[in-house]
């Protein structure tokens, strides 16, 4: 039984890592698109969300229409899920990148695992241990160093980025917590269809209200919608959700911390972004909590086998 359990958990780690790595491409993808195409932030995230939602609706409409069925009593929860995890998250994340950088915005996003660990302890009966409490401190120390909060001038100059970063972490962390509860009743396909459709609709309404005529060319819009809808939305959500069904939300969120590593490497390689020594130390704090919890988890598994 222990061997089967370890294999089962191991089969969940790989898809979470793949999903998180694809999510690590979000910031660089946004930056590369906006470097080459005249497109504003709202239009870009709207194309991403609408493209992903339409592709899911078409796919599941043709393959599994049962994915559209939800209980009336759950409509409110799923609406909140979509509004927070898509509408709010897409907007605050792209503005976090705009007012800071891809690397810094992604690192600030990774306050989310700490928030998920707290939320899982409060609402999902995921026990809080001394190690987890200690590990919660690291990302907050890391984010303090990343935004260089000890330098009042830098803090004041980058207040917008600092505000949008933690806001994106709250929205991102809510995905794991809300999805984990909804997965007790619904398949990953059902959640994907509904949360994308619900989340994309307000973005489209905002876009049509603010700048209805300002779109890239039709071909460019379709290309952006398809690429961003598949590569940085549907595929990472599918991989991450598959893993999340098979492991605790706190562990999935911790495993997904490979995302800022991918984002930092791509931001350096493709965009020429560099973090200073103190910011790199902060990044190590954010990522170091994963090493700490992984080491403790491995030690506990070995102890149980022995």
Cα Rg of the chain (Å, integer): 19
Spatial CB neighbours of 260, under 8 Å, sequence gap ≥ 6: 24, 103, 106, 107, 109, 110, 283, 286, 287
Buried b (16+ CB within 10 A) or exposed e, 91-107: bbbbbbbbbbbbbbbbb
φ and ψ at 272, to 5 degrees? 75, 20
Whole-angstrom distance, CA of residue 164 vs CA of residue 158 = 10
E-assigned strand segments in the chain: none
* Cβ atoms of residues 64 and 222 within 8 Å: no
Per-residue pLDDT tens digits of the chain, which is 306 residues long: 444 444 444 567 788 889 889 988 999 999 999 999 999 999 999 999 999 999 999 999 998 888 899 988 889 999 999 999 899 999 988 988 888 777 777 777 766 666 666 666 665 566 666 666 666 677 667 766 765 655 655 555 466 666 777 777 778 777 767 877 787 888 888 888 998 999 999 999 999 998 888 899 999 999 999 999 999 999 998 888 788 777 776 666 667 767 777 888 888 888 887 777 877 787 777 667 666 655 555 444 433 333
Map out the domains of the chain as residue ranges.
2-305
């Amino acid at each position: 039984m222990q061997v089967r359990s370890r294999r089962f958990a191991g089969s969940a780690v790989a898809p979470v890592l793949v999903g998180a790595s694809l999510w690590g491409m979000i910031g660089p993808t946004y930056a590369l698109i906006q470097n080459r195409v005249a497109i504003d932030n709202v239009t870009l995230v709207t194309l991403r969300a609408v493209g992903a939602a339409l592709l899911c609706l078409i796919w599941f409409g043709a393959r599994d229409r049962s994915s559209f069925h939800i209980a009336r009593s759950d409509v409110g929860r799923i609406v909140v899920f979509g509004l927070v995890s898509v509408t709010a998250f897409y907007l605050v994340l792209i503005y976090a990148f705009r007012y800071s950088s891809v690397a810094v915005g992604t690192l600030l996003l990774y306050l989310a695992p700490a928030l998920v660990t707290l939320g899982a302890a409060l609402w999902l009966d995921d026990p809080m241990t001394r190690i987890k409490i200690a590990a919660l401190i690291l990302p907050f120390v890391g984010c303090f160093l990343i935004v260089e909060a000890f330098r009042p001038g830098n803090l004041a100059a980058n207040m917008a980025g600092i505000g949008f970063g933690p806001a994106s972490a709250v929205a991102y962390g809510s995905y794991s917590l809300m999805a984990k509860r909804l997965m007790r009743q619904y398949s990953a396909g059902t959640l994907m269809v509904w949360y994308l459709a619900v989340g994309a609709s307000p973005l489209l309404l905002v876009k049509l209200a603010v700048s209805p005529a300002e779109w890239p060319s039709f071909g460019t819009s379709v290309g952006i919608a398809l690429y961003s809808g598949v590569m940085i939305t549907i595929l990472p959500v599918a991989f991450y959700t598959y893993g999340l069904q098979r492991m605790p939300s706190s562990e999935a969120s911790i495993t997904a911390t490979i995302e800022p590593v991918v984002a930092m490497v791509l931001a350096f390689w493709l965009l020429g972004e560099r973090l200073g020594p103190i910011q790199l130390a902060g990044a190590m704090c954010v990522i170091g909590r994963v090493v700490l919890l992984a080491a403790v988890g491995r030690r506990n598994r070995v102890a149980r086998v022995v």
